[in-house]
Amino acid sequence: MPQGKVKKIVQEKGFGFIQSTSGQDVFFHHSSVGDGAFDDLREGQQVEYTVDEGQSGGGKGPRAASVRPVD
């Protein structure tokens, strides 16, 4: 499972970006964060996720799914 750090969170709009270990930014939506833990995520926090290329649409880049904090 890929890992990265939460780069930016836009709480009021319900999305954010993860900076992968390769340096690529990966979009995530609050619905992709397990157990409703979106509000508990913090910028700089280490997370793991899966990549779902199919949902981003329009060639906007990868989209994270199944995002969860790494203990």
What tens digit of pLDDT does each residue of 7-30 get?
999 999 999 999 999 999 999 999
Residue 71 Cα distances to 7, 12, 57, angstroms: 18, 26, 31
Distance CA 71, CA 15 (A): 22
Q: Which of the four CATH numbers 2.40.50.140, 2.40.50.180, 3.40.1130.10, 3.40.190.10 does domain 3-69 have?
A: 2.40.50.140
The model carries a pTM of: 0.86
Q: What is the pLDDT of residues 31-71, one digit of tens each?
A: 999 877 899 999 999 999 999 875 555 567 789 999 999 97
Tell me the two tokens of residue 8: 């930016």
Domains of the chain, residue spans? 3-69
What is the per-residue pLDDT for 28?
95
pLDDT at 6: 97
